[in-house]
Amino acid sequence: MKVGVPKEIRPSERRVALVPESVSKLVDAGMEVVVQAGAGAFAHFADEAYQNAGATVAANASAVYDAADIIVKVQRPTFGGEDEPPESSMLRSGVVLIGFLQPLYHPAVAKGLAEMGVTGFSMDAVPRIARAQSMDALSSMSSIAGYKAAIMAAEALGIYLPMMVTAAGTTPPAKGLVLGAGVAGLQAIATSRRLGAVVSAFDVRPAVKEQVESLGATFIQEALHTEGMEDEGGYAKQLNQEAQQLEQDLIHTHARTMDFIITTAAIPGRAAPILITKDMVRDMRPGSVIVDLAAETGGNCELTKPGETVVANDVTIIGPLDVPSSVPVVSSQMYSRNMLTLLQHLVRDGELTLDFEDAITRDCCITHDGKVLHGPTLELLGEGGGKA
């Protein structure tokens, strides 16, 4: 089997799907690897390092797509626009494509891949089960995003995060609120605490209380906690309208006293829930900061503008996109390890082995044999699909 690693072409993407360390392990297992020249440059992995790991370096993307049986990427392939040529035009029938296809947000991509006869695996669909933890790229990237969100908040604030005792006086520690205690939220808490901030956290799932407190943060107790607020994948379920209002009222009460807020709430396949309204922003402290990690799906703050930093009522609202890509070395290394483990699961004795009785293969295989297999994506396509 030949594995191809093209250079990512979507704007601002700096990660690479495989780093030289993982390439070496694939080569040792009897696989061939073809890497596009410059594919790892933004993450500081030189072509020479790939060659030393046993890979062949190809001059351009077309050469990689033509040679490979399996294409590994970070981002979903482009289907048109200003790209010359779009990546979809280089995919051929029968090839395997693995990457963050995000079929719940881009179902038309899945439809297009199926029509081309591409077998597509999505890294964001890896099931959250014990034996798939080493393949869970979504958690890996969320951890990096949570870390970077705390750094962004510290950089944007006009005050120290830790308490500082100086000859000029003592400054109190900054107070932060993290909304959502999933992987990103927990890492945001941990990093903010390491930097010296006093942190509180809110989540509708009572099961995360112990994790929050183990990191030294205060779990907001007064929340509307309802059993069964977690789906099978470990994500929070969408609240009904009455519960959403109670949730917003609670957040409003605490937001008034915070120097920074980091939001991480996401519901797979849906727009991010609004947790911070413009009225809440109006009541926040002058100079306070919101880092909205849900910006890519609309944002948890009503005033968030994805990809931009705005100031409203003297509150800075940061809506970053593709946050893991801003830490390209570590994010590429972690993603590459996730990819390597999935490849080792799918390729056995040098042959692609698709066992659809296996939960990992079944859940993350989006398209195969000219069909969309992923149930939730099929439901979305039945509702009209979307743009690729």
Beta bridge partners of 72: 98
Catalytic residue, chosen from 128, 194, 285, 362, is 128
Catalytic residue, chosen from 133, 214, 238, 245, is 133
At 205, the pLDDT band (50, 70, 90 cuts) reads confident
Catalytic residue, chosen from 89, 235, 344, 358, is 235
Helix and strand tally (H, E) in the chain? 12, 19
- The residue type found at 324 is P
Task: Respond yes or no on whether the N-terminal peptide bond of residue 11 is cis (omega within 30° of 0).
Answer: no
> For residue 219, with 0-12 CB atoms within 10 Å meaning exposed, 13-18 middle and 19 or more buried, which class applies?
middle
Q: Mean per-residue pLDDT for 175-204?
A: 97
Selection from 86, 66, 83, 70 nearest residue 32 by Cα: 70
For the stretch 124-141, pLDDT in tens is 999 999 999 999 999 999
For the stretch 84-118, pLDDT in tens is 679 999 999 999 999 999 999 999 999 999 999 99
Q: Report the chain's C-alpha Rg in angstroms.
A: 22
The verdict on whether 66 is a catalytic residue reads: no
| pLDDT score at 267 | 87
What percent of the chain clears pLDDT 90, i.e. is strictly above it?
Answer: 85
Catalytic residue, chosen from 22, 75, 139, 333, is 139
Supply 284's token pair.
């926040």
The verdict on whether 235 is a catalytic residue reads: yes
Q: What is the pTM of this model?
A: 0.91
Q: Is the pLDDT of residue 226 over 70?
A: no
| pLDDT score at 126 | 96
Q: Is the pLDDT of residue 236 over 90?
A: no
| pLDDT score at 223 | 47
At 23, the pLDDT band (50, 70, 90 cuts) reads very high
The whole-angstrom separation of Cα 12 and Cα 307 is 11
Selection from 91, 90, 55, 97 nearest residue 74 by Cα: 97
Catalytic residue, chosen from 124, 136, 203, 363, is 136
Average pLDDT, the chain: 92
Q: Mean per-residue pLDDT for 40-69?
A: 97
What percent of the chain clears pLDDT 70, i.e. is strictly above it?
Answer: 93
Q: Is the pLDDT of residue 52 over 60?
A: yes
Q: Is the pLDDT of residue 289 over 90?
A: yes
Contact 178, 200 (CB under 8 A): yes
